[in-house]
C-alpha cells in the first residue's frame, strides 16, 4: 500500500421511498449484466476481498477498499491504464428527478493532489456510443487531506456521492460507467451503486464530517485505547492479509497474544461511518 490508511464515511442526506431502478453491491465483479474492460489485462476491475485484485498495493488493501462487504476495486500500476466498469442498460422513462448514488474510496495524495489518475462516473443514453461525465474525484470535496504534506500518511476517505440525473429523465437506454484512467496513481473502489427514479438531493451533498479519532499507545505492546467523538459500534483488528483477528464493541482492545508486526484497526461508528488506522505491535 502506498501509505498508512485512514478511512471515513460521508453522511448522505437522501430522502427514501424512491423507485429503485438499478442497485448493485458487487458481491461478484463484474456482476450479472455488467461488463468490464481494461487496456492492461493485469489491472482489471475486481472484487476487493481478494489479494489478487491488489498486486501493487498488497493484501492489506482488502480492508481499506472493502467499503461494505465486497466492493469493485482496481489497483494501480506504473503504466498507462484505462479500465471501465459498465452497468447494464436501464430506462428512466416515467421518472421525474432520478438520482445516481454510490460510495467510493480514493486516496488524496496520488489521485487528487498529484493527479496521477482520474476516476469518473459517466452516463450514456445511446448504447455506449458517447459518454458524459457526471462526477470525477478531483471535484469531490468529500475527500480530505491530513495536511502534513506526507503522501504516505494521507487519508483514504469513503465518500457517499449523489448526482442529479433529472436531465436524463425520460431516456429509455441509459447506462452508467465507472472509468479509471491512471499511471502509477493509486487503487480505488466503488460500492452500493443505485439509480433511484425520484428523490431529493441533500443540500449538503458533498459535505463530510470526519470523526475525531485517537488510537493510543501506537506502537503498542498489547493494550489499545480508542478515543473518539462518535459512538463506536465495533472495532475490528485485521492482519495485513485482511483476515479479521479480533473484534470488540468497547473502546479498548488487548492484542498482547499477537506477534509483533503491523495490523489494521477498523472502527465502525453507529452512524455508519468508519475510520481505519495502522497499528504497530512491538
> Residue 204 domain-assigned?
no
Range in 8-17, 128-137, 221-230 with the lowest mean pLDDT:
8-17
Which residues sit opposite 102 in a β-bridge?
A: 161
Q: Answer whether residue 12 is part of any domain.
A: no
Same domain, 59 and 126: yes
Same domain, 28 and 147: yes
* Sign of the Cα pseudo-torsion (26, 265, 136, 184, in order): negative
| Averaged pLDDT for residues 96-101 | 93
Tell me how far apart the alpha carbons of residues 226 and 38 are, in angstroms, rounded to a whole number: 41
Q: What are phi and psi of 109, to 5 degrees?
A: -65, -55
Q: What angle do CA 77, 144, 120 make, to 5 degrees?
A: 50
Out of 173, 199, 225, a domain closes at 199
What does pTM read for this prediction?
0.68
As to burial, measured by CB atoms within 10 angstroms (0-12 exposed, 13-18 middle, 19+ buried), residue 24 is buried
Predicted confidence (pLDDT) at residue 15 exceeds the cutoff of 60: no
pLDDT at position 48:
97
Model pLDDT for residues 125-179, shown as the tens digit of each residue: 999 999 999 999 988 878 777 666 666 666 787 899 999 999 999 999 999 999 9
Number of domains comprising the chain: 2
Question: In this structure, are 37 and 153 located in the same domain?
Answer: yes
> Which residues are CB-neighbours of 6 under 8 A, at least 6 positions away?
146, 154, 155, 156, 275, 276, 277
**Mean pLDDT, rounded, of the chain:** 84
State which H helix or E strand residue 63 sits in. Answer: helix 61-65
Per-residue pLDDT of 66-86, as tens digits, reads: 998 899 999 999 999 999 999
| Whether 84 and 131 share a structural domain | yes
- pLDDT of the residue at 47: 97
- Residues 191, 256: one domain? no
b/e string for 71-108 if b means 16 or more Cβ within 10 A? Answer: bbbbbbbeeebebbbbbebbebeebebbbbbbbbbbbb
Please indicate, yes or no, whether residues 40 and 138 belong to a single structural domain of this protein. yes
Continuous segment of H or E residues that includes residue 251: none
- Check which CATH number belongs to the domain holding 250 and give it: 2.60.40.1930
Residue 6, in any domain of the structure:
no
Q: Is the same domain home to 22 and 152?
A: yes
pLDDT of residue 200: 52
Residue 4 lies in a domain: no
The helices-and-strands tally (H runs, E runs) of the chain is 2, 18
**In which domain, by residue range, is 119 found?**
18-199
End-of-domain residue from the set 151, 168, 199: 199
Amino acid at each position: 500500500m502506498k501509505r498508512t490508511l485512514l478511512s471515513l464515511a460521508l453522511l448522505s442526506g437522501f430522502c427514501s421511498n424512491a423507485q429503485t431502478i438499478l442497485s448493485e453491491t458487487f458481491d461478484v465483479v463484474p456482476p450479472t449484466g455488467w461488463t468490464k474492460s481494461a487496456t492492461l489485462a493485469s489491472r482489471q476491475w475486481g472484487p476487493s476481498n481478494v489479494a489478487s485484485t491488489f498486486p501493487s498495493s498488497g493484501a492489506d488493501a482488502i480492508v481499506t477498499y472493502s467499503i461494505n462487504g465486497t466492493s469493485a476495486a482496481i489497483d494501480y500500476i506504473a503504466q498507462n491504464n484505462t479500465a471501465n466498469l459498465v452497468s447494464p442498460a436501464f430506462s428512466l422513462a416515467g421518472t421525474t428527478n432520478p438520482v445516481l448514488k454510490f460510495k467510493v474510496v480514493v486516496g488524496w495524495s496520488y489521485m487528487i493532489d498529484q493527479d496521477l489518475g482520474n476516476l469518473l462516473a459517466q452516463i450514456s443514453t445511446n448504447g455506449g456510443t458517447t459518454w458524459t461525465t457526471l462526477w470525477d474525484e478531483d471535484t469531490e470535496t468529500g475527500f480530505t487531506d491530513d495536511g502534513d504534506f506526507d503522501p504516505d500518511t494521507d487519508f483514504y476517505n469513503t465518500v457517499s456521492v449523489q448526482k442529479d440525473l433529472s436531465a436524463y429523465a425520460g431516456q429509455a437506454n441509459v447506462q452508467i460507467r465507472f472509468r479509471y484512467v491512471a499511471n502509477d496513481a493509486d487503487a480505488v473502489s466503488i460500492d452500493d451503486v443505485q439509480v433511484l427514479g425520484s428523490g431529493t438531493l441533500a443540500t449538503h451533498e458533498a459535505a463530510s464530517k470526519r470523526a475525531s479519532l485517537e488510537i493510543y499507545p501506537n506502537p503498542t505492546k498489547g493494550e489499545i485505547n480508542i478515543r473518539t467523538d462518535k459512538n463506536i459500534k465495533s472495532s475490528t483488528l485485521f492482519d495485513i492479509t485482511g483476515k479479521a483477528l479480533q473484534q470488540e464493541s468497547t473502546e479498548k482492545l488487548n492484542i498482547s497474544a499477537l506477534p509483533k508486526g503491523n495490523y489494521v484497526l477498523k472502527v465502525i461508528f453507529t452512524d455508519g461511518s468508519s475510520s481505519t488506522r495502522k497499528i504497530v505491535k512491538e
